[in-house]
Amino acid sequence: MATDFSTNRSDSSPAVVELPWYRCTWPWVLISIPFAAVLFGILMIYMVTRYPDDLMVDNYYKEGMAINQSLAMDAAAQALNVEASLLKFESGQIQFAIRGVTDSVVVLELFHVVDHGRDQTWILYPEPGVPESHTVIYSSHDKGFDALISGQGIWYLQLTGADDHWCLRERIKTPVQQLVLHSQ
């Protein structure tokens, strides 16, 4: 009985080489999905803490009362037939011609639509001189107004009397060359 120890293989199948798991594609694809979820979660937590939402209101009752007060101020402006027009906003000077009121000061406020940090307030004082046809020119000196009105953006402009009796407001899209506010 003769034994044949020859290594004659008749099948032509290739040898299967097993790679370690970290050399395969599918485990990395499956690992990347929860890893991406964790990264986006960390990014969202960072964004929420860094840039809080200015649109949320904590005290709804107080805001409701403020809305009622602002409606009364709008009605008072309409009863007085208040009209304001922007005369000049060059070289750091703001001038508004306001017809129908003679307040000692007028408060000009610009509210950015989204970014509460960009809101600005100016106090406008009457120019010396005799008012013509119930029109008083109010002005202030501030270089910041030029940049806000000349740049791109959407703002809410509000003019209010010294005693918060009347109010004119308008949504404006900047840059603005000419601006007239009417009591509505």
Q: Along the 184 residues of the chain, how does pLDDT read in single tens digits?
A: 555 555 555 556 677 888 898 899 999 999 999 999 999 999 999 998 888 766 666 666 777 777 777 888 888 888 888 888 887 767 777 888 888 887 788 888 888 888 888 888 888 888 877 566 667 777 777 767 767 777 788 888 888 888 878 888 888 888 877 788 777 6
Could you say which architecture CATH assigns to the domain 60-182? Answer: Sandwich (2.60)
From the list 164, 156, 98, 161, the residue with the least C-alpha distance to 131 is 98
- Residue 9: phi and psi, rounded to 5, are -100, 135
d(CA 1, CA 62) in angstroms, rounded, equals 107
Tally of CB atoms within 10 A around 138: 24
Q: Which residues pair with 121 in a beta bridge?
A: 109
For the purposes of burial, counting CB atoms within 10 Å of the CB of 146, is it exposed (0-12), middle (13-18) or buried (19 or more)?
Answer: middle
Beta-carbon-side half-sphere exposure of residue 141 (alpha carbons within 13 Å): 2
From the list 145, 149, 152, the residue with the least C-alpha distance to 92 is 145
Q: What is the model's pLDDT at position 2? A: 55
Q: What is the model's pLDDT at position 151? A: 79
d(CA 85, CA 34) in angstroms, rounded, equals 58
Q: Could you tell me the residue ranges of all domains in the chain?
A: 21-50, 60-182
Task: Collapse the DSSP code of 158 into the 3-class scheme (helix H, G, I; strand E, B; otherwise coil) and give the result.
Answer: strand
